[in-house]
Each structure stands twice: as C-alpha cells, then as structure tokens.
C-alpha cells in the first residue's frame, strides 16, 4: 500500500489525476445495450468566453450527476461542445482587426470568415481547458461545435423542413434592431432596464379647425416623423367628435387620421396615442388592423432617413433639434420627467430600436402547442416546479421568432435569388438553373441564422441527427438539462419545441434549474462593479474540490447563492480532515494482520458506524435521484466529519494502540470499509481528493470513477447498536459540557460513576468501557445502580438514560482554583471601581456621547455578573 503525503496539496494531484482519467478514457461513453443509458448535454459555452462562476456552478452540478450515474453502472454520456456565438464572436474579431488596422468590409466576407475560424482555432477551446481544471468528466472524445460539419448539416435540414412545411417565411414585421451591432436580435436578447427620461407633450393641430389641437405624450419625439395616425379609445367620450378627422403632423408636410382602437388606455396620459407602425410593436399591430402605412425613419445605424432638415442626424441629435423646433412653433406643451423601461441589447447594452424590416421568421403558433402539452402532461418537468409556470407563460404568449441576423459569422440562410428575374429558391445547395426563367445567375441570401436556431438542435444534432446513428437511438432523448433560470427563454423552450418537431420526442424529461452565484453582499457579479471572482484563482489557491464543495454547500434548485471566501476555507478544511483521517487509517492498516473478519466479529461501535453509513447510502442516493445535490453533500460531509472522524476514529484508537486487543482486526476492517464507502459517496462532489486516497487505499480497482456506487444492505442495519452508541455519545457530550463549564483541561482525567437502575443501560456502558473512558476523559469507569459510595460533592452530568457523577476533587485542584479565583476577583474589583467612578462623574455623563455612556453601563452590568459568579464559586470551594 502506498502512503499519502503528509499534507494535502491539491496542486500536486489534480492535473496528474485528470491526465490519468483522460488516458484511461474513463469519461468516454459507448453504446452498450447491456447497460442503461444516461445522458446530459452540456450547455455549449461561447468560443469568446472564459470560465466564470456561473459556468463553474453549472458544470459542477452536471459533473456530480454524471459521475453518480457512471458509478451506478449506467453508460453515462456527458456530451460537451462549444457555441459559435455569432454576435459576440463577430464583435471580437472585428475589434481585433481594427486594432491591426484592417477594415472588415475591405477584407470581404470570405476573408473575414477565415479570420473568425482563426479565432475559433486560437481561443475556441480556452474555456474547455478551463473546464478540465474544474474536473469536468465530459466525453471530450465527442466534443462538438455548433458550426462543425454535422451540426451545420442539421441546421440546414431543419431550415428546409420548416420552410417546406410553411413554418419559415420571409416578411416585413417589427423586430428589435441593434444600431451598433447592426443586426436584428430576438426578444430574449433584449434586457429591459429602468432609465430616467421624459414625456414630451406635443400638440397636433386638427386640420380645418384653427386653434384646436390633439395633445399626445411620447418618450421618443423623433419618431413622430414616422407617425401615420393618432389613436383614441372608441369609448372615450372626450374624443368622439374627432374620430375620422385629419391632423397636421408637426415638422412635416403630411396629414394623418384620428382612428379609434381599443388598444388605447383612456386613463393613461392624454388618452391620445401617436401611432408609428414601423417603430413600435404595439403600433405595428394597430397599423395592421387599420391598414396604415409603415414609414421607417431610421437607417441601420440609427440616423434619420426621412428627407428634410433632420436627414442624416443621429436619433438623439434629431430629438434635441425637433424638440427645439416644436418649442419655437408653440406646439411643445410641456416636458414631464418620466422613469420608463427601456430595451437594450444584452451584448453591447445599446438601446434597441424597434423597426420594421424584411426578415426571416418561424411561425410559432403550431410549434408551441406540443411544447405546452409536454409540461401539462408531465413529459417534461422542472426542478423546482415553479419554473414550469414561467415556461408555460412564455409559450402561451409566444410571437413569431425572427431568426435572421445581419452578420457574416454563422449559418448562412440557404435561400438563393435569381439575379435575372428575382425568383427566390430555398435549397440545400445553390440551384443550377432558375425554375422560373431558366437562367443560372444566383446569389445567396446575405443573412445568417440566429445562434439560438442552431443551439436549439443541440440535444439531437450532437448525436448525429439527421442521420439515424446508434448514438441517437441509444442516448436520445437525454435525461436532464442543467441550466440557470436566466436562459429558460433563450434556449430551453427552443430546444423543447425543436426536439418535438424534428424527432417527435421531448429532448429531456427534467430541467434542473439553478440560480446565480452572487458576491458576499448579494450583488450580481459584473465587470462594472468589479466584484467578479475568477474560478481559476480559487482553484489555484484552494483546489478544484474546495471550489466545487463551496458551490454546492447549501445549494438548492432555483435559488441564488452567495460566494464567501470563508466558505472556501471551510471546504479546504474539510478536505484536510478527510486527508488526515485517511492517512491515520492507512498507517494502522497493517495492524489487522491476516485475520478474516465477519459481521459477527464487530463490536457495538463498529456496527454503529457501519449502520450509520448504510443509512447514509440510502439517503444520499434518494437525494441525488431527487436532484437535491446540496442536501446530499451536507449529509456526506456531516457523516465524515462528525460521525466518522470526530467519533468513530476516536472510539477505536484504544483498540488500535492495545496490542492485546483481539478486536483490532474488526476495527481496521470497519475503518477501511466505511472510509471506502464514504469516499465513493463523496466522489461526485470532490473527485480529485477521493481518487487520490482511493488509489492509495486499495489495489483491487484502478479508479474510483468506475467503482460501484454503494447500495443499502439490510444485513448492515444494526438499530440496537445505533441506539446504544448514541446513548454513549450523549453521555460523553454531557460530561464534556460539565468539564468545559468548569474550565477543566482535557488532560486532567477523573473517575466517572455511571448510575442507572436499568441493567441494559449499565451493560451498554460496560461494553463500551474502553472508548467511553477515552472520550469522556475518565481515569476509571464504574457502573452501579445507585449513588452508594459516591462523594456528596461529586459533579453530575445527566442524560435521559443515566446520571454520571465525577468526584469534585478529581476534577479540580481546590487550592489552585481558589488562588486563581482570588486573582480574578481582584481584577474584577478594579474594573468595578473604575466603571462605577466613571458613571458617577457628572461631567462624563454630560459630555460623553450616549453610545459611550450606554457601553460603559453595559460593561458595569457584565462585571457585576462576573463578580457574583466568582464569589459564589469561591464560597462553594471554601466549604
């Protein structure tokens, strides 16, 4: 047997062990019909990213589940990969080129894409290598990329199928436009934030009625250039007479109608709403109902495109100029401060501009229905359940999905346009001839697909779909998706409706939701606050196991957690505890000799810890099956630290050190058996330290990773011994409490009398005499039915089953204790004199702050209480 190093140093073992796992292909999952499959797909991190605490938590949870199932004998696949992250990568590469003095447009599409692939090659695996340091046991042999050949084939196939089914169409609808990235973005990529702004109240003159106006209020006065109507509620009595009349649109030469639409809230504002169909989603719907024109007033970079005075101005520059002109014309009624919710792009944080543009869309009405049915029928469930309501609410209010992006990096839309007659053809490859005019001059659509279009296919595209691979047949549907609550809309819903549409199956039966990792003050970690903590820094200082344990301690599905460095220290301390206990056991193993041990050879204490381990195995297995990962870890930690290390190891030490003890082999067998099972239960949470100890502790198995998960065994259940040992533990705690209250050092041994009229109780103490004496700091243990022969001044420690008596003189050296207490009394007398004098000083009371006076009064009360205790103790001793 090898020997563990004296001190636990994760830096010495983690990289070495991870390389061992990779060489041994222990992460690799094969199609094996003899085993049950279990599969998880890794939410693919962006190739622009680096590991942050959210990744660390998400991947730790997945790794726990996959290691647990692997040990249970499943063919467990954790499918890894990365996402091309269209917008983020394009921005990164564009900025890199700028720094090198290269213009993206001058480089051209093909040249730019070469640079993107260079980026992917250089930085695309950064986060993967960082996940290695975390201990992630994903099947790296199967690593995928959303733009690899297979995934790209799947994307194209889905686009064509949906188009042929009539679910994908090209049309002009209101979309979210980012003027900085100059691309459309989905609703899910818009972050809403409260901003301080204004309501500008503007008069629109009624045509033909001099001096009569309609007053509207707007947060975006520049958009009036695109107004095509003013709407009022049809039931608003104030405006019945103007419905159908025309208004002179300020700053333009146009006239627009007053229309009646129930969309208008007559209680809000003036009850008159300007309708700009090309720049507001609600106005767009009103415009459709009333056949209003859609006038787009902005260029792609948010400059005014309407001919006239404001042409070419930035939207905010134009706003200022228009407000000044309205003021000069006497049409600006008032400006009222107004805090309102503004949509910004989650990538660049630019204020998003709603605009009507020709884009590609997916019809969602029909595709949403089976995804709704899945949650209602229980084919899909969320942990916690409450997130199912969020999922359902979003699906029941879903709008058509804008899937086109004005980017070069990504999956290019497979639509081709005849340059001779304009005919559009959607096909896998560029057509040879135009089906309409017979010519062969085609150009492909410039747009690419939304990144979420490809990642929506991730659970099945990574397994080889649309090909009917054996992996797809065996591992799909996957079992559980682990993700944060912040991307339910982005990704989870799209995977569900895509999976059902393309495969007829829900892609996973469970979605395990976790919260965010916040800083110690409860704030979200961000660059702007500078409060982010790099997981790699934590790993370098404390090791991956300590980080993983910290992230899982107290973790509950769906709840945010706070990161404390003190908690990392506690995790590292636990690792040290496990390491030192293991070293102690391994140093004593040879004392067992060659003797065979059976359950009949075990002592009461041995059976107690074995039974406790047995119950723990059942509980932890149930917790993991319910995805209660934090609870499972806490139970394992409490057992190892308290029951095993603090109690059982201390119980057996007298047996190990006594050469004549015939139960030594039983003790060693129990120590090793419980340690091995404890390591296995701990392994999914702390893989490195458990592997290192396991490797050195036994020689039968090469790695703990594929060793068998412990199972509950009825023959290891010893209820009677559990109750008996818990009785002894309670007695020991009671004795220790008494000794602590009297400031008795552990090194001072004293005789202990155990008194009980119950013979079975006395029998338990007799059987446990050796370790009870050791744990209770007893020089001798005497069991009896009454108090006969026990000194009258003996100190008592009471439990429900027995009373322990300890002769006072054996606990305390009376002369020395009196001397110590006299010194303490003298010191307290000085403090009382000082404090009383200060509080009787009128100048102090008049000039000192109230807090200072209150603090001194509290001190005096404390000194008086301490003095009373010292005098009482002295009086007792002097008797």
pLDDT at 673: 96
pLDDT at 613: 98
Where helices occur in 407-514 by DSSP H, the ranges are: 451-455, 458-461, 470-475, 493-503
Please check whether residues 778 and 828 belong to one and the same domain. Answer: no
CA distance 145 to 128: 12
Neighbours of 51 (CB within 10 A): 21
- Are 390 and 488 in contact, with CB atoms under 8 Å apart? yes
On the question of pLDDT at 404 being above 80, the answer is: yes
pLDDT at 107: 93
* Token representation of residue 166: 């009539």
- Give the mean pLDDT of 853-867: 90
Please check whether residues 697 and 758 belong to one and the same domain. Answer: no
Instruction: Specify the CATH number for the domain of residue 214.
Output: 3.90.740.10
Q: What b/e sequence results for 351-370 when a residue is b if at least 16 CB atoms lie within 10 Å of its CB, and e otherwise?
A: bbbbbbbebbbbebeebbeb
Please check whether residues 680 and 582 belong to one and the same domain. Answer: yes
Please check whether residues 216 and 343 belong to one and the same domain. Answer: yes
Please check whether residues 298 and 228 belong to one and the same domain. Answer: yes
- Are 800 and 771 in contact, with CB atoms under 8 Å apart? no
The alpha carbon of residue 749 and the mean position of all alpha carbons in its chain are separated, in whole angstroms, by 51
Question: Phi first, then psi: what are they for 673, rounded to 5°?
Answer: -65, -45
CA distance 197 to 323: 14
- Are 563 and 550 in contact, with CB atoms under 8 Å apart? yes
- Structural domain for 771, as ranges: 722-812
SS3 468: coil
Instruction: Specify the CATH number for the domain of residue 651.
Output: 1.10.730.10
On the question of pLDDT at 808 being above 90, the answer is: no
- Are 315 and 222 in contact, with CB atoms under 8 Å apart? yes
Helix axes 544-552, 126-134, angle to 10 degrees: 80
Does residue 284 form part of some domain? yes
- List, as one string, the DSSP characters of 5-21: -SS--HHHHHHHHHHHH
Residue whose tokens read 């029928």: 377
- Are 615 and 674 in contact, with CB atoms under 8 Å apart? no
On the question of pLDDT at 819 being above 90, the answer is: no
pLDDT at 594: 75
Does residue 129 form part of some domain? no
Q: What is the DSSP letter of 591?
A: G
Q: How confident is the model at residue 592 (pLDDT cuts 50, 70, 90)?
A: confident
On the question of pLDDT at 528 being above 80, the answer is: no
* pLDDT, tens only, 409-438: 999 999 999 999 999 999 999 999 999 999
- Range in 145-159, 312-326, 811-825 with the lowest mean pLDDT: 811-825
Residues in the chain: 879
Neighbours of 293 (CB within 10 A): 12
> Among 155, 173, 42, which residue's Cα sits nearest to residue 498?
155
Instruction: Specify the CATH number for the domain of residue 825.
Output: 1.10.287
Does residue 418 form part of some domain? no
Q: pTM (2 decimals)?
A: 0.86
Residue ending a domain, among 354, 384, 399, is: 354
On the question of pLDDT at 159 being above 70, the answer is: yes
- Are 232 and 254 in contact, with CB atoms under 8 Å apart? no
* Token representation of residue 21: 């796992």
More confidently predicted of 281 and 548: 548
β pairing state of 272-275 and 81-82: unpaired
Please check whether residues 646 and 555 belong to one and the same domain. Answer: yes
On the question of pLDDT at 686 being above 90, the answer is: yes
Please check whether residues 679 and 566 belong to one and the same domain. Answer: yes
Does residue 801 form part of some domain? yes
Neighbours of 411 (CB within 10 A): 23
CA distance 549 to 521: 20
* pLDDT, tens only, 331-355: 999 999 887 778 888 777 788 889 9
Does residue 701 form part of some domain? yes
Residue ending a domain, among 311, 335, 354, is: 354
Please check whether residues 684 and 730 belong to one and the same domain. Answer: no
- Give the mean pLDDT of 472-497: 92
- List, as one string, the DSSP characters of 711-762: ---GGG--HHHHHHHHHHHHHHHHHHHHHHHTT--TT--EEEEEE-S-HHHH
Q: How confident is the model at residue 483 (pLDDT cuts 50, 70, 90)?
A: very high
CA distance 361 to 345: 20
Radius of gyration for the alpha carbons in the chain, expressed in angstroms and rounded: 38
- Give the mean pLDDT of 820-845: 90
Please check whether residues 634 and 752 belong to one and the same domain. Answer: no
* pLDDT, tens only, 792-807: 888 888 898 999 999 9
* Token representation of residue 71: 């040990």
- Range in 236-240, 440-444, 483-487, 528-532 with the lowest mean pLDDT: 528-532
* pLDDT, tens only, 612-629: 999 999 999 999 999 999
Annotated ligand binding at 527? The verdict is yes
Mean pLDDT estimate for the chain: 92
SS3 48: coil
Does residue 36 form part of some domain? no
Instruction: Specify the CATH number for the domain of residue 739.
Output: 3.30.2320
- Give the mean pLDDT of 555-576: 92
Residue whose tokens read 């989870």: 492
β pairing state of 229-232 and 478-484: unpaired
Please check whether residues 558 and 661 belong to one and the same domain. Answer: yes
Question: Phi first, then psi: what are they for 476, rounded to 5°?
Answer: -110, 140
- Are 310 and 321 in contact, with CB atoms under 8 Å apart? yes
Does residue 426 form part of some domain? no
Q: How confident is the model at residue 180 (pLDDT cuts 50, 70, 90)?
A: confident
Please check whether residues 641 and 757 belong to one and the same domain. Answer: no
CA distance 518 to 564: 9
Where helices occur in 251-292 by DSSP H, the ranges are: 281-289
On the question of pLDDT at 41 being above 80, the answer is: yes
- Are 477 and 485 in contact, with CB atoms under 8 Å apart? no
CA atoms within 13 A on the CB side of 775: 25
Does residue 428 form part of some domain? no
Residue ending a domain, among 329, 354, 379, is: 354
SS3 198: strand
β pairing state of 183-185 and 81-82: unpaired
Please check whether residues 556 and 633 belong to one and the same domain. Answer: yes
- List, as one string, the DSSP characters of 646-658: IIIHHHHHHHHH-
Q: How many domains does the chain have?
A: 4
Encode 114-142 in three state secondary structure.
HHHHHHHHHHCCHHHHHHHHHCCCCCHHH
Q: How confident is the model at residue 1 (pLDDT cuts 50, 70, 90)?
A: low
């Amino acid at each position: 047997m090898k020997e563990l190093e004296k001190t636990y140093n994760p830096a010495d073992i983690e990289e070495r062990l991870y390389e061992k796992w990779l060489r041994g292909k222990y992460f690799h999952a094969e199609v094996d019909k003899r085993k049950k499959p279990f599969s998880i797909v890794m939410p693919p991190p962006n190739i622009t990213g680096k590991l942050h605490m959210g990744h660390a938590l998400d991947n730790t949870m997945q790794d726990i589940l996959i290691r647990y199932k692997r040990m249970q004998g499943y063919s467990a696949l954790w499918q890894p990969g990365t996402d091309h992250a269209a917008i983020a990568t394009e921005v990164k590469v564009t900025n890199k080129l700028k720094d090198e003095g290269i213009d993206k447009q001058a480089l051209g599409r093909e040249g730019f894409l070469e640079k993107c692939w260079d980026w992917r090659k250089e930085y695309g695996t950064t986060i993967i290598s960082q996940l290695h340091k975390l201990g992630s046991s994903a099947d790296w042999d199967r690593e995928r990329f959303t733009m690899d050949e297979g995934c790209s084939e799947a994307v194209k196939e889905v686009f064509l199928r949906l188009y042929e089914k009539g679910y994908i169409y090209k049309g002009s609808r209101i979309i979210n436009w980012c003027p900085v990235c100059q691309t459309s973005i989905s609703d899910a990529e818009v972050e809403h934030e409260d901003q301080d702004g204004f309501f500008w109240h503007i008069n629109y003159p009624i045509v033909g009625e001099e001096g009569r106006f309609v007053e509207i209020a707007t947060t975006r006065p520049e958009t009036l250039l695109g107004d095509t109507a003013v709407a009022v509620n049809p039931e608003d009595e104030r405006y019945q007479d103007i419905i159908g009349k025309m208004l002179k649109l300020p700053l333009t030469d146009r006239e627009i109608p007053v229309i009646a639409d129930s969309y208008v809230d007559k209680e809000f504002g003036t009850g008159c709403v300007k309708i700009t169909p090309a720049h507001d989603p609600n106005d767009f719907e009103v415009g459709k109902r009333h056949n209003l024109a859609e006038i787009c007033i902005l260029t792609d970079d948010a400059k005014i495109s309407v001919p006239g005075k404001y042409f070419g101005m930035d939207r905010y520059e134009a706003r200022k100029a228009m407000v000044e002109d309205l003021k000069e014309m006497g049409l600006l009624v008032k400006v009222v401060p107004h805090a309102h919710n503004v949509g910004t792009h989650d990538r660049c944080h630019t204020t998003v501009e709603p605009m009507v543009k020709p884009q590609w869309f997916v019809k969602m009405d029909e595709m949403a229905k089976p995804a709704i049915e899945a949650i209602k029928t229980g084919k899909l469930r969320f942990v916690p359940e409450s997130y199912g309501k969020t999922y359902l609410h979003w699906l029941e209010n879903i709008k058509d999905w804008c899937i086109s992006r004005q980017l070069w990096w990504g999956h290019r839309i497979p639509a081709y346009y005849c340059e001779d007659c304009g005919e559009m053809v959607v096909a896998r490859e560029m057509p040879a001839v135009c089906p309409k005019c017979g010519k062969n001059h085609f150009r492909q659509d410039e747009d690419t697909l939304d990144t979420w279009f490809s990642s929506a296919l991730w659970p099945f595209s990574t397994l080889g779909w649309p090909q009917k691979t054996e992996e797809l047949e065996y591992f799909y549907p996957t079992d559980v998706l682990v993700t944060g609550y912040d991307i339910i809309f982005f990704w989870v819903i799209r995977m569900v409706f895509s999976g059902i549409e393309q495969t007829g199956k829900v892609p996973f039966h469970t979605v395990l939701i976790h919260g965010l990792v916040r800083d110690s003050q409860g704030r979200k970690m961000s660059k702007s606050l500078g409060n982010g903590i790099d997981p790699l820094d934590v790993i370098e200082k404390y090791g991956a196991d300590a980080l993983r344990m910290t992230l899982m301690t107290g973790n509950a599905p769906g709840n945010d957690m706070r990161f404390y460095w003190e908690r990392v220290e506690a995790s590292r301390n636990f690792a040290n505890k496990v390491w030192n206990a293991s070293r102690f056991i391994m140093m004593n193993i040879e004392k067992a000799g060659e003797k065979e041990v059976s359950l009949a050879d075990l002592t009461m204490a041995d059976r107690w810890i074995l039974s406790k381990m047995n119950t723990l195995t059942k509980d932890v297995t149930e917790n993991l099956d319910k995805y209660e990962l934090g609870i499972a870890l806490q139970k394992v930690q409490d057992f190892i630290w308290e029951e095993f290390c603090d109690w059982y190891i201390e119980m057996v030490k007298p047996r190990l050190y006594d050469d004549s003890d015939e139960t030594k082999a039983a003790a060693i067998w129990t120590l090793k058996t419980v340690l091995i099972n404890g390591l296995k239960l701990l392994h999914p949470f702390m893989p490195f330290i458990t592997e290192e100890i396991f490797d050195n502790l036994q020689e039968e198995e090469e790695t703990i990773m594929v060793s068998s998960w412990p199972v509950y065994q009825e023959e290891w259940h010893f209820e009677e011994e559990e109750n008996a040992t818990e009785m002894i533990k309670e007695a020991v705690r009671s004795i220790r409490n008494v000794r602590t209250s009297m400031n008795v050092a552990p090194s001072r041994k004293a005789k202990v009398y155990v008194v009980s009229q119950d013979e079975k109780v006395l029998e338990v103490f007799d059987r446990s005499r050796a370790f009870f004496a050791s744990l209770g700091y007893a020089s001798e243990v005497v069991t009896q039915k009454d108090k006969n022969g026990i000194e009258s001044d003996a100190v008592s420690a009471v439990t429900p089953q027995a009373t322990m008596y300890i002769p006072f003189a054996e606990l305390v050296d009376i002369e020395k204790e009196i001397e110590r207490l006299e010194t303490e009394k003298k010191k307290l007398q000085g403090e009382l004199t000082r404090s009383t004098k200060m509080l009787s000083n009128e100048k102090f009371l008049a000039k000192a702050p109230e807090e200072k006076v209150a603090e001194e009064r509290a001190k005096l009360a404390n000194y008086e209480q301490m003095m009373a205790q010292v005098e009482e103790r002295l009086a007792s001793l002097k008797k």
